[in-house]
Structure 1
Amino acid sequence: MDSRPKTRQVAVLVETDDSWGCSVIRGIADYSQNHGHWNLLLDPQDHDQRSALPDLWNGDGVIARFGNRLQVDQVRKRKVPIVNVDTLFEGLPGVCDVITDDSERAHLAFHHLRDRGFEKFAYFAPPNHRYSVKRGEEFIQLVRRSGLECHEYKPGYRVGRKLGWEEQQRRVSRWLNSLPRPMAIFTVDAQRGRQLAEICYMAGIRVPDQIAILAGDTDDLMCEVCTPPLSSVALAGRRIGYEAAAALDRMMNGERPPTQPIKIPPHGVISRQSTDILAIDDDTVVRALRFIQQRAFQDIVVKDILHEVPVSRRSLEIQFRRYLGRSPAEEIRRVRLDKGRELLARTDMSIGEIASACGFANGTRFGVAFRKRFGKTPLAYRKQLTRS
């Protein structure tokens, strides 16, 4: 009798045409290789090139980024365990949701822009079937809870209406020209961020001097070929894939799907040129912040800032508290720790190497500061990212 574990057949309805989809699939593969003994059917498509299960597929489970109601109905008819990895169709009965924490995404975006001194905000998300309105709601509500105004792009047409490129440009240009400046705009994703940057260029609007742009997700190609290169929120796609596979495995073994979504926080913000500006009208603070950004990883202290910016320490403290809500020393530590978190997520550097790269004397001091800021050790944070 064959005692080898059964090779399960798992369909993955996640597009491979962007960095996020590829990283989700990588996370699923990580789990499958270590735990699942699965045969993965990747991104099957119908004759119209839409993501769809083949009629003859007879598998054990599905992990999907649902894009429309027809796809949802088709998959649910198969009566197999299903895990959803996007918020567009969140909360379907009997389906497990493993999704990005949109509240944390909004928090990262807002504070990245707020730390650059912006007091005017907008959200850009043309009507589209590819994303949920929830992404924008979280950001808009956070801005308004902070006592600030957030403008929205409302072009006056519904999802599904097709507009020509020139008409889209006219509508977006009108909206951009109606906004006060300097303005920080959070876009729903990298594709829309790149579109906005292109329209700004053609309309003679300077990015980031007049309008700063931050994308709600990271597509490496879209962000890097954008003019200027596009800052973006780095989602934990690989961890979403891993946790989705782990949840599906439990469901295929007979467990019921959880009643609440499993929310995965993003890694952080990847800062590029599209937000490389300080919208602060105090030259002393701007100079000090520029110095911190350039030298934070060289073991500087507040005294070094005072050599660059000839004001009293007390005056500098007051101005930092006024504009940023923290002291110069706290800003140095914040910049270092944010860099450390990015390196933990995006590299295989050791803790000691990361500590040195971020301006800490050793790994122990980095670990203590990291745990105080983020509530976990650097190793625990890195382990959380993939859980593999």
Structure 2
Amino acid sequence: MIQRIPAFLDRCRIALLILNESHWSRSVLDGIARYAGEHCGWDFWLQPRGLKEPPKLPEDWCGDGVIARISNEPLRESIARHGLPTVNVSWHGTHCREFPKVISDPQACGRLAAEFFIGRGFEQVGYIGPPDCYNYRDEVWPEVDRVAEEAGCQAYKFDPDPNSPQPDYDFQRLRLVQWIRSLPKPVGIVAWNTTLAREIMLTCGAEGICVPDEVAILAVESDPLVSNLSPMPISQIEQRMEQVGYEAAQELQRLIAGGEPHEKPILIAPAGVIEKPSTDTEFATDVLVQQAVSFIKRHCDEAITVSDITDHLDISRRSLEERFRKALKRSPAEEIRFARVRVLKDLLRRTTMTHAEISVEASFSCENAMFRFFKRMTGLTPGEFRRNQSIDLPMFPETL
């Protein structure tokens, strides 16, 4: 009698060497799990660990492939000794044939962050990058600096004390205080992650500096838990980390099947900015423009037009357009569209409403009109956007 081999023995064994203590890493793992569930049913080997626990692939581990956050040379060497197809999801290190990358696009994150503040009318943009102990090659700052310079704005970079016995920023509070004091106000600050953004917010609070009107804060990394544990929720870039995990798994499957590594990293563009109170300022050099922006915010879930604004403020359309261009470098119609797409993203991210229900809630004439508008504004369908999001229920929904 022939003994039948259980089907699960034919499944690929994949090692996951990724942090699992943060929202970033868990989102990557969610994307990997989604791909495996849809396509191949992998069996995973995991090494539960935090940021300071050194990862390592055991010498005697046998499997078919690896997805890793390759952040140091010992880990790189331990994986290399196995000679398995491997995908790196970290900004650490360089892309190569042995360890090809699938990552969130760091340069696009830098551009998006700078453009966000410049679009709000800020003429000063600050930046706090990763602590030196993280050993990152920072590709975000050069784009923040470049975009600000091209827009005629000034960018300021925080430099930590190289002689400090503790490289983390929470041990450099005095230097951080001095830097924030020195910045011309108002200023929009881009922080490497949500933890640093929270540290900036606490520093501003201790110094009596108003957030967001004097200092607006945007984090490059999204961590809803840290955001909700801050004095006020923090605006963050949507890096689409679940999509990073999904495409990393897809790329690994292709490599396991004998495919050749790509010459360049696979870059996942950010979806936009998750706006929270830390950037919810009506800053503009023109009081009338401030009033117009405030009106748009109050009615962003309605099908308002530029005429509604001009009627409310008793001003001609031409004058309103000119003052918007001068103060915010965009038109009132653009401001309305940005506000409306934020409403749609919020509903897609935080609720389980159907697309038809969302179109009614956001005052679109029909579901197709909402669909076309969202696709035009974001490059994604509402369904694609929702699939890439984790449900993020805010601690203070009334402030959104």
TM-score with structure 2 length normalisation?
Answer: 0.88
State the match for 1:184 in structure 2.
188
Select 2:82's aligned residue among 78, 90, 111: 78
| Residue 140 of structure 2 corresponds to residue 135 of structure 1 | yes
CA contact (8 A) 2:177 2:203 kept: yes
1:369 corresponds in structure 2 to: 373
**Higher mean Cα deviation, 377-386 or 218-227?**
377-386
Distance 1:374 1:228, change over 3 A: closer
Residue 4 of structure 1 pairs with residue 28 of structure 2:
no
When structure 1 is superposed on structure 2, of 280-289 and 370-379 the one drifting more is 370-379
Q: Which residue of 1 aligns with 2:393?
A: none
User: Using a 3 Å threshold, how does the CA distance of structure 1 residues 107 and 164 change in structure 2: closer, same or farther?
Assistant: closer
Asked if 1:270 corresponds to 2:294, the answer is no
Partners in 2 of 1:235 and 1:340 — Cα distance? 18
Q: How far apart are 1:9 and its partner, in Å?
A: 1.3
| 1:55-70 matches, cutoff 5 A | 55-70=59-74
The corresponding residue for 1:358 is 362
Task: Mark the runs of 5 or more structure 2 residues left unpaired by the alignment.
Answer: 391-400
The amino acid that maps onto 1:148 is C
1:146 is aligned to 151
Matching residue within 285, 306, 325 for 1:281: 285
Task: Check conservation: 1:97, 1:262, Cα contact below 8 A.
Answer: yes
- Corresponding residue to 1:224 among 225, 228, 239: 228
Contact 1:231 1:271 in 2 (8 A): yes
Compared CA separation, residues 80 and 165, structure 1 to 2 (3 A): closer
Q: Which string of whole-angstrom CA distances, capped at 9 and with x for unpartnered residues, describes residues 203-258 of structure 1?
A: 22221121111000111111111112211112211111111111111111111211
Would you say how many aligned residue pairs link Structure 1 and Structure 2?
384
Aligned residue in 1 for 2:33? 29
TM-score, with length taken from structure 1: 0.91
The 1:100/1:53 distance shift into structure 2, 3 A limit, reads same
**Aligned residue runs from structure 1 range 106-117, under 5 A:** 106-117=110-121
Given that residues 336 and 359 in structure 1 are in contact (C-alpha distance below 8 angstroms), is that contact kept between their aligned partners in structure 2? Answer: no
- Residue 92 of structure 1: CA displacement? 3.1
| Structure 1 residues 103 and 346: alpha-carbon distance in aligned structure 2, compared to 1, 3 A threshold | farther
Partner of 1:340: 344
Which amino acid is the alignment partner of residue 327 of structure 2?
Y
> What is the distance in 2 between the residues matched to 1:18 and 1:196?
20
Q: 2:126 aligns with which of 122, 126, 148?
A: 122
Q: Measure how far apart 1:161 and its partner are.
A: 5.2
Q: Which residue of 2 aligns with 1:209?
A: 213
Determine whether 1:327 maps to 2:331. Answer: yes
Identity %: 33
Match of residue 394 from structure 2: none
Give CA-to-partner distance per residue, 1:161-208, whole Å, 9 cap, x none: 525877510111111111111111000111111111112222222211
Matched to 2:16, the amino acid is V
CA separation of 1:285/1:223 partners in 2, compared to 1, >3 Å: closer, same or farther? same
Q: In structure 2, give the amino acid aligned to 1:260.
A: K
1:202 and 1:384 map into 2 onto residues whose CA distance is 37
Letter in 2 for 1:184: G
Q: Does the Cα contact within 8 Å between 1:117 and 1:278 map onto a contact in 2? A: no
> C-alpha deviations, 1:277-305, integer Å up to 9, x for none?
12212110001001101202122222322
Give the structure 1 partner of residue 315 of structure 2.
Answer: 311
Q: Matches of 1:172 and 1:134 in 2, distance apart? A: 22
Once superposed, what is the RMSD of the aligned Cα atoms?
A: 2.5
Q: Can you give the 5+ residue segments of structure 1 that lack an aligned partner in the other structure?
A: none
Cα pair distance change 1:347/1:254, threshold 3 Å: farther
CA contact (8 A) 2:115 2:147 kept: no
Post-superposition Cα deviations, 1:68-113, rounded to whole Å, max 9, x if no partner, equal 1221122112110110112111313322211001232223322322
Say whether the 8 Å CA contact 1:44–1:54 is kept in structure 2: no
Query: How far apart, in 1, do the equivalents of 2:271 and 2:361 lie?
Result: 18
Instruction: Find the partner of 1:296 among 296, 300, 310.
Output: 300
Kept in 1, the 8 Å contact 2:303–2:363? The answer is yes
1:198 corresponds in structure 2 to 202
Post-superposition Cα deviations, 1:272-329, rounded to whole Å, max 9, x if no partner, equal 1111112212110001001101202122222322343222222111111222333222
